[in-house]
Amino acid sequence: MSSSKRVFRIDPALLDGIGTVDVLFDGRRVWSVGVDEIADGRLVWPKSLRPYFDGRTEVSIRNSANSEELVTDELRFGRSERRIDLRDAAGRPLAMNKWQRLGPVFEGGNVRLRERLLENAQSLVALLERDGFNVYIVGGSLLGYMRTGGLLPHDDDIDLAFLSEHSHPADIALDSYRMENALVRAGMTVVRHSLAHLEIDFFDDQGHVEHYVDIFTGYFRDGLYCQPFALRGPEVTPDDLLPVQRVEVDGVALPAPKRPEAWLEYAYGPNWLVPDPSFVFDTSQWTRRRFENNFGVYNRARVYWEKRYLSLDGVQPKAADPDSVIAWAEGLPADAAVLDLGCGTGESTNLIASTGRRVLGIDFSHEALSIASANAEPGASFAYTNFNDGHGLFALGASLLATGDVWHVRIADTIHGITLANRHAIFSFLELVLRGGAVAWGTTYTDLPGWFERSDPTSWHYPPEWLEAEISDHALSVEFVSTARRETPQGRREQLEFVIRSTRTRPTTDNGDD
């Protein structure tokens, strides 16, 4: 048996007849993987684990079904003698989740965290039920209750769903917005993943997202139970779901489907009672496309940025080119208002404010905004806006227009990390807010780098011909100002500077004012 930072080798004979194994570091599960992925006994470490491989740990491989220990070996990665400790910047234990991403889990963590999550979920359910929503636990939360009466140790949230009475996507979306409005009125922080999926975030004293509750939408159409983003089939009926029953999850009363086993067999198959921490939904491309076309995808790249900004540990970095930011801001009218779209941790937003311009920085990362708000300079303010969400952008645009000010927009190194549909949402937003001679100034990377990874939006690119073609669908024009080779943490890249203007001729009032 041998190991490296890339591969752990196991005798294939030890894996005969086993479906899934757990991988433990010093007795704590950090990953679960199907045996069919361990070709010839070669267990390839996930890329997201490898940066933590500096030190010693006891690696154990166990059968997920019965916890039988198959292999144990003391390993040392690098030269350090310290014990490897998989935790994030907030001190939360990390493990590979069912999406094969490294994230916080309950196992090995703060017991009070689990208690707070359950208490907040209970309060959330009470609020939704008062507003007439039929809510029930689903997913890993329902699975944990049916197996052990509590939350699964490798889970990281609570999953709820509500049953919509409607079947048309537009009506279902209206239900979701009605729910969002009720939650916002109650002071909740809502992150929209789609028109059928909300995430409710709860924060710790340092402003980090401590835990969250997912709320999915269930509905029936053409005799099929649908629950975006993954499930669509005939196995569940309305009588399986309603009326809900009250169950105790780790001692906290929550609503569950009338027949939990029907939902679980539908979602996880007939062997749902057998633990398989590596399970992922096998959703057909056709079903996924149907859900994405009907309800959109508003969560692209957000989790990547949350993790990246969390790793800064509350420290605001310095602006990459402060002189150019200040020069651009000083070139605006003295009374100009500025929107910094994709402001990140706000270092450039603060530089704009230092020139005397009022500036609002927006971002879809709560971790970034926590740092930005803690370091805000006079004249700079910050707000959460998901610029993947056209509805949220239009709400922001309406609020900007209501001020009566002329708003210039800064979009620096942002647009290349946004998908096609969501870029069009940004351009529609610019059509709305660019008035009175205001412009949108931005930069983007145009070359596809050798280190491109689909999961890393900083490695994406946006060629100028794409920008020209997409802008042509809107009442906007684009001017390419300059191109230059810029240094990035990964290497040099081609950067394009551009200016976007409105092409609309606005009518004048009787007194000649715009």
Q: How confident is the model at residue 172 (pLDDT cuts 50, 70, 90)?
A: very high
pLDDT digits (tens, 9 = 90+) for 56-91: 999 999 998 888 999 999 999 888 999 999 988 778
| pLDDT for the residue numbered 277 | 66
- Mean confidence (pLDDT) of the chain: 92
Three-state DSSP state, 384: strand
Those residues with Cβ within 8 angstroms of residue 253's Cβ, 6 or more apart along the chain or in another chain: 122, 246, 247
Instruction: Supply the pLDDT for residue 466.
Output: 98
Task: Estimate the share of the chain in helix, then strand, then coil, as percent rounded to the nearest 5.
Answer: 30, 30, 40
pLDDT for residue 229? 87
β-strands 407-412, 337-341 pairing = parallel
Say whether 98 sits in a helix, a strand or coil: coil
Question: 62 or 281: which carries more pLDDT confidence?
Answer: 62
pLDDT (mean) for 142-169: 93
Question: What share of the chain has pLDDT > 70, as a percent?
Answer: 96
With H, G, I as helix, E, B as strand and everything else as coil, classify residue 72: strand
User: Which domains, ranges and CATH numbers included, belong to the chain?
Assistant: 7-86 (3.30.70), 111-295 (3.30.460), 302-502 (3.40.50.150)
Q: What does pTM read for this prediction?
A: 0.85
251: left (phi over 0), alpha (psi -120 to 50) or beta: left
On the question of pLDDT at 430 being above 90, the answer is yes
Residues 6+ apart with CB under 8 A from 141: 151, 155, 158, 159, 160, 249, 254
Query: How large is the C-alpha radius of gyration of the chain?
Result: 25
User: Does position 513 have pLDDT exceeding 70, yes or no?
Assistant: no
**Residues 6 or more apart whose Cβ sits within 8 Å of residue 351:** 319, 322, 325, 326, 329
* Sign of torsion over alpha carbons 34, 35, 36, 40: positive
C-alpha 330 chain-centroid distance: 35
